[in-house]
Structure formats: C-alpha cells, structure tokens
Structure 1
C-alpha cells in the first residue's frame, strides 16, 4: 500500500525525514474494530518550521516556471496517481472505514484524481496575463501555503488544495488529519515519483490543535487553506490575523433538501435518504434536513423507512456493504449523543437509533437514523451532526420552506427536487447557500465549491480554486506591445 516507515517520518524538502524533536507518536485506529493498527509520528512546531522554510526556499524557482511546465507536472501527477489508485482505495478504507467498493473505489479515491485533472483543464482557460485598460495585469502565485485537511473525504479535500496550488505556482506544507494518515502518505509518494521539485510539497503529520496554530501563525506562510470544523476555522483565523495572511475556509454545513409539491416522492425521498447516508453521513454537504409538504408527511416517512432498509451496514471490506463505521471514536460518541438529543427533544424516531447494529459487535457503527416531525429549532435541526442522521421537517408552503431552509447559521449547500425544473430553479435562487443541487444533480469538479455565512469563505474546485492561490498585480504605464516572457 505504501512504505510503512514513512508513517514515522515527514516528507520535507523532497525526502522523508525523521522529526527534529523528541519522538512522539499517535495511534491509528481501525474504525471497523476500534483497535489500533499503526503508529504515526506526531510533529511539533520545530517540524513545521523546517517544512515551511523548505517551502520558502523553493518558492522563487517554482514560481518562475512557465504555466505550461506546471500543467505538465500536474499531468504527470495524474499519471502516477491513476497507477496507484488501488493503494488509495485500500488506504482510505483502512483509515476511515469507507466501504471499499461502494465508497472508496467508486468515489473517494477517484475524487482526488478528478481534482488534479480539473485543475489542468481550468488552467488552460484562465488568463494569467492580460491587458486591462492602460494596465498590464499579472496573476502570480500567492506564496507559501499552509493546507489543513480533514478525515471525512481525505483525498478529495487534500487534492482540491494541492492541485490548484501546484498549478498556480505556490509551494506548500500539508497538515492532513491525524485520523487519516495513510492516504496522505500515498499522495506524498505519488508527488515525489511524479517529479515535484524538492520543497514545493511538504507534509507533516500530527495533532491539528498543536500544528494548526504553528502553521497559521508562521511568518513565512502567506496563505492558509483549511477544511474543517467551525472551531478550527476560528482558531486558524485568529492565528493568521497578526500577519494578515489570506485565509480560505470551508467549514460546516446543515443543508436543506426541499422536496416540492408534485415531486415524485418515491424518487425524491429515496434519493435524499441514500445521499444523506452515503459515507456514513460524514459529508459536509450532506442533505441532512429534508423539507417536505405537510400533507405528504406520512407517505414520506414510509418511503424513508423503506430506503433505510436497503442500506447494508457492515465490514467496509465486504463488497456488499454500503455503509461502514463512523471514522473515529470521538465522532462516534458525538453522533450517538445527537441521536439521544433528538429523542429527548421529542422528535419522532422512524428508523435507527442509538442501538448498535446487530451484525457489528465492535467498531464505531451507527444505524442509519431518521427523525420526522422535526421543528427547526431542535438541536438536531440546527447543529451539524456529521453522521447518518436525517431530520424530516414539514412545511406549509414554499415561502415557509425557503424560510426554514435559510434559518441556519450555515450556508454550504442546498437541494431542491421537483417535477417542474423552472420552479425548482426559482426556489434554488432564493437559498442562501454556495451551491444548490437540482433533482439529484451530482457535483462538478469544474464548478465552485464553498459556502455562505458560517460555512466559510473563499471557493475551491476548478478555476475558482486556482484563483484562491493567486495574487493580482497591475503594471501601469507600459506601452501596448509590452508583455512578460
């Protein structure tokens, strides 16, 4: 899968290095069993400094590359990544419990490759140098970037930062989640084999609380890009503020899924339930609030139960499994506490609950769980649960539905399902979210990804993702024939 010794090392300045301080290690837990499988080295502020300084030294040279050269480099990354796809599949299943065939092979591992390919395609359409009025405009790399990523979609979240940073000409230090170290190790090996120059990409494993501040406050870091919790976003922003760094945040979500009157309920409800439960509900854009016409509530409940009954919970290595465990014990306990909160607040539990699935005597398994007749003031309707828990909220009319959907501190994504596509699009236009999916439309790697309100700032994916890593310079007073080689 990958070189085991690399778990006790960091990838800095083009080579695998032991860390510079007294050795500290953390356990990697198999979420399917709850038992440790490996140990990884935990970095310190000194390790971060070593990595940042390597990136700082590498920046002038890499920033001077021609755009075509950087595009070719990322294309080579794609070639190596594709050859090692099986290693990514195995790594993601092992580290966070995603079902190997249904999730890791079908979506998790390929999403990383998708972002590298999309970055090359987007770069070919972007104008990095052009005239505007009397000025010559130059889009230049922002500099040394700190990339901090989560465990729920490990390669998706890493690649959608690393790929545009490489295309833009930035150098970087990646701090992947300590709960998902395997796939990040595979990626470092891929980038090394692909010929990414020494110092351009660096990776230090370890605790987010310990390393996030060291990265965000480092005077040689020019930008921080974080995907994570709202608390982590606040901490990173505060640490970056004294040096006025650029900060890009993709944070939490509590996406509403509005099923319109007249929609095909069998299709809409089934799609909503299965999309919510995919990846064990550990997706920031999961449609966790299903809003349905009040007079359809009983039919919706019936269909939701039927959809949940088709979900196969179990060992992620079993090809028949469609829902694996929660990725770690901390999140497992949070999900169970939120289910208990829903029961205490009086929501109607129509499927699942806090009981462990019968066929899963150990590990961090939770049943697919659905609450109905939920009030939007309930905790389970307002807070991000990040597990396989769906809440069904009845609405009176479309005005009421839009008000409920927007009555959230989050604004990452939204969903609208209706027989009349024009009506669905009109409703989508009223949602205060960065993205809206109509009638089950899938994601598009070339479309911008990001949210409103407390879901963060900035955009990732495609051209928008590259622009996050660029500065804009205006050169004034040049003649009309001026150009930069």
Structure 2
C-alpha cells in the first residue's frame, strides 16, 4: 500500500498535490544508489561537472515562472519574492559551477631532498541534506551545488510543507544531464529520515538547515560514525539604530529585513534596538510604513505579507504578542489576525510593538513572523550587550553613518553575518553561517565548497 501526505496552499487551504511517503527500504535503496554512483561521479573532470551544473542553472532560469508559481502555491510567499528566490537559488548553481574548477591542492617543500610532499583535495563522499520550508529552492541549491561541484553525490529531504519545489528542482537537474543516481530526493517523516541519514554507513556528510534543537540531535546522531556535519541553525537577529544613523535608510532596510517572507526567515531582524535620541523619528516612520504593507495571498497584486506557513507557527507568533502585551508592550500597529483553522490558513498583520522589555519572550525566542519589537538604549555598549545576549549568532544589523562607531559595533557583535547599513547582506559569493548555537560551517562564497572536500597529504620518497 502506498502512503501519501497532502501538500496544501497555506493561503487558501486548497490541496495542491498528494506526495508519496518513502518507506525505509526505498530510502535505503536511494542511499545505496548515490553510494554506488559516487566513485564514477567523483572521478569525472571538474570541467564536466561544471558544464552540467551550468546546464541545470540554465534550465532553472528557463522555468523560473513555473518554479515561482509552484513556490508561492506551497509556501505562500508573494510571487515577486518567489521569483527573486528562484534567481537567487540559480545563482548558487552558477557560482559553484565555476568553483568546481578552482579546487586546488599544493606542493610543500620537503625537509630533505629525497622526498616530495603533496596536498590534494577530494570529495568527502555521499551527502544527505535536510532543508526547511521557508526557502524551498535556495536552501537546496546552496547545498546541492557545492556538493555536486566537489564530486559528491547527493540526496535531499525537503520539508513536508514544501516538497514540490524540491522535486521539480531535482527533475530539472536530471534533465540537465546530472545522472539520476547522483542526485536523489526522499519524502518521509523528518525524525525517521534524520535517523536513517545519520546512522547509515554510506552517508559521509550531513547538511542541515533548521532549528537548533534538531541540529543538536543530528550532530549527536552523527557522532557514532564521525560524519562531517554542516549546520545552519536558529537565529535571533538584533538590529541597532545608532544615534548617527540615516533614519530613512534604517527604516527601509529594517522593513525589508523584518517583513520579508512574512518574517519567516532565520536572518529576520527580531529585536530592534533604537537609540533613545532617534527613537521617536524611527518608530513613527517605521510604524507608518509597516501599517501600509498589504496582507493576502501571494498571488494577489502588491501583496507584501503572505500567510504564516501553518498553525504551529501561527500559535507561536500570537503567544509572543500576547505575552508582550500582558507585560506592558504597546501595539503601535497590527496585532490582528485572519485565521481559518478549518482550512489551515493563517495571516498575521504586520505588527510593531513598543516599550518592549527584556522579560518578554519575544526578546529571547526567535520570531518566525511579521512582528517587530522595539526597545531603546542610551549607550552603544549597552546596545552591543543586548544584541549579544543570546545563545544565537547568525545575523545582526546596525545603522550608523559614523565610521568609527560602525567599526566598533561590527568588531564587537558576535555574529557570523553583519549588515552595516544593509538589511539584506546575503549573496551567493559571500559566506553564510553563524557563530555560537547558530551553526557549524559556511554556505556560499569560496568557503561554501570546503565542507564537501577532504584534504589528503601524500609524502613521496624518491
């Protein structure tokens, strides 16, 4: 008997498609396929792998409208954002198609004349990846592209909320000429798949994007077989508005950072720390702009805020708002919801909270939703302390036109990604990843291919 799960549109509740759930045997068979394919794939020339990745990139660009529409249907994000993500996702493939040809070794000068010492780089082995629903295309390509470029084979387990984008991307990879056994996907219960991936002797690397608790579990499960791991985990990004900030720029970038994908990103500005001298100017302008953001299905014109992905996410958002209100926070705009539990559709209007204090949950828990809490500070060291007062260290933002102040802030923020007068620092050519409990390793940039490579030292006696 074939088991399936439903993929529904979070904006309408309509059924999009039923997706087959893979049995343990099917998952094992797929892992064995990428294991058998690894020796041949890893020995293909970098130029050949580069050409196939380029062909995959080109097919994605040719089908960008289809992919964007599919993404909006299963994820809910506005169509314009979905189109942007498709291009962003394709950009990783283009980048790593070039990096495939730039995996270098080196020769070391030996201590004696009767030796030669070489260092080479080779693919780590079959890779298993687990990706989230909030960026169903980009989170896949920035793992798959460097893995394939390095000579690894690859299996992806996408989020159950958004598997269709992943399936289509893999289909396009096969159409581009990447062998089916080199790149596979599987759909099944996340906990089960995680256990199979981490315990399977043929998987040599795990790459995961998701919550910190799940990442910690995967690391523990991978320890017995000493698998390589890359983890892009939770964030709780601060955004500092300095007294020397360009307020209009700070507002524009704070809006883009906070409300992108309805606030459902790991690098969203979650805590707005505003200097008391510019608090009124910033808050007034920011609140007015937030109130004008249109909420609705992502297919409607000019919609900026789509639905929350599911009831679990909706419940967390509303709990944080209610907790803040009960402890004295003032709602400047929003705080209202359009929810249809029967259909599974949940919309949260962009919300700005003022007079937020440190005892509120929203200051310590990652908010995956369109809620912006504002608090003030009087001294920059206080702002830095508040910004760093979290176990997470993925992304942080600050705004100042004072270069001395800016360098001081940048050097003291304990985050892997820092945006200085920039609310959108992510780029395919730059390393993406966090410090502390926000992860291990980097994705993107020339650093992005490193986790998929082993270093081999060869000492030759002559």
Please, what TM-score do these two structures have when normalized by structure 2?
A: 0.94
Is 2:323 aligned against 1:347? no
Deviations along 1:267-288, whole A, 9 cap, x unmatched?
2123213320111001101111
Give 3-state SS (helix, strand or coil) of 2:338's partner.
coil
**Structure 1 residues 467 and 396: alpha-carbon distance in aligned structure 2, compared to 1, 3 A threshold:** same
293-302 or 73-82: bigger deviation: 293-302
Distance 1:397 1:241 in 2: 44
Give 3-state SS (helix, strand or coil) of 2:66's partner.
helix
Query: How is 1:377-416 mapped onto 2 (pairs within 5 angstroms)?
Result: 377-416=359-398
Is 2:82 aligned against 1:104? yes
Distance 2:55 2:461 in 1: 37
Distance 1:314 1:243 in 2: 47
Is 2:174 aligned against 1:192? yes
1:291 match: 273
- Unpaired runs of 5+ in structure 1? 1-21, 480-485
Shift in Å at residue 362 of structure 1?
7.7
Cα pair 1:31 1:329 within 8 Å, conserved: no
**Structure 1 residues 169 and 270: alpha-carbon distance in aligned structure 2, compared to 1, 3 A threshold:** same
Cα pair 2:339 2:346 within 8 Å, conserved: no
Distance 2:291 2:339 in 1: 12
1:88 match: 67
2:113 match: none
Distance 1:420 1:475 in 2: 51
Is 2:343 aligned against 1:367? no
Cα pair 1:273 1:390 within 8 Å, conserved: no
Distance 2:180 2:166 in 1: 17
Is 2:133 aligned against 1:151? yes
Is 2:104 aligned against 1:121? no
1:417 match: 399
Shift in Å at residue 328 of structure 1?
2.2
Is 2:37 aligned against 1:58? yes
Deviations along 1:379-421, whole A, 9 cap, x unmatched?
1011111111111121121111111110011100111111124
Deviations along 1:109-143, whole A, 9 cap, x unmatched?
1111011011123344x342221333211110000
Deviations along 1:197-244, whole A, 9 cap, x unmatched?
231101001221221111121111100000011121122112211111
Give 3-state SS (helix, strand or coil) of 1:77's partner.
helix
Cα pair 2:310 2:345 within 8 Å, conserved: no
Cα pair 1:87 1:186 within 8 Å, conserved: no
Give 3-state SS (helix, strand or coil) of 2:412's partner.
coil
Give 3-state SS (helix, strand or coil) of 2:348's partner.
coil
Deviations along 1:313-350, whole A, 9 cap, x unmatched?
11211121111111223212222222222222322222
Give 3-state SS (helix, strand or coil) of 1:151's partner.
coil
Shift in Å at residue 24 of structure 1?
1.5
Shift in Å at residue 357 of structure 1?
8.4
1:72 match: 51
1:435 to 417, 422, 436: 417
Distance 1:261 1:254 in 2: 23
Query: How is 1:29-48 mapped onto 2 (pairs within 5 angstroms)?
Result: 29-48=8-27
Please, what TM-score do these two structures have when normalized by structure 1?
A: 0.90
Distance 1:265 1:415 in 2: 14
Cα pair 1:139 1:472 within 8 Å, conserved: yes
Is 2:224 aligned against 1:248? no
Distance 1:439 1:154 in 2: 28
Structure 1 residue runs of 4 or more that deviate by more than 6 Å after TM superposition: none
2:192 match: 210
Give 3-state SS (helix, strand or coil) of 1:249's partner.
strand
388-397 or 422-431: bigger deviation: 422-431
Is 2:146 aligned against 1:164? yes
1:130 match: 106
2:114 match: none
Distance 2:167 2:335 in 1: 36
2:220 match: 238
Is 2:302 aligned against 1:320? yes
Deviations along 1:33-80, whole A, 9 cap, x unmatched?
134332111223222211110010000000111111111111111111
1:462 match: 445
Give 3-state SS (helix, strand or coil) of 1:468's partner.
helix
**Structure 1 residues 75 and 347: alpha-carbon distance in aligned structure 2, compared to 1, 3 A threshold:** same
Distance 1:272 1:224 in 2: 33
1:142 to 104, 121, 124: 124
2:431 match: 448
Give 3-state SS (helix, strand or coil) of 1:325's partner.
coil
Give 3-state SS (helix, strand or coil) of 1:383's partner.
coil
Distance 1:447 1:307 in 2: 30
CA RMSD of aligned residues (A): 1.8
64-73 or 437-446: bigger deviation: 437-446
Distance 2:441 2:328 in 1: 38
1:264 to 234, 246, 259: 246
Aligned residue pairs: how many?
A: 453
Distance 1:118 1:308 in 2: 35
Deviations along 1:155-205, whole A, 9 cap, x unmatched?
110000000001000001110111101111110110110111231101001
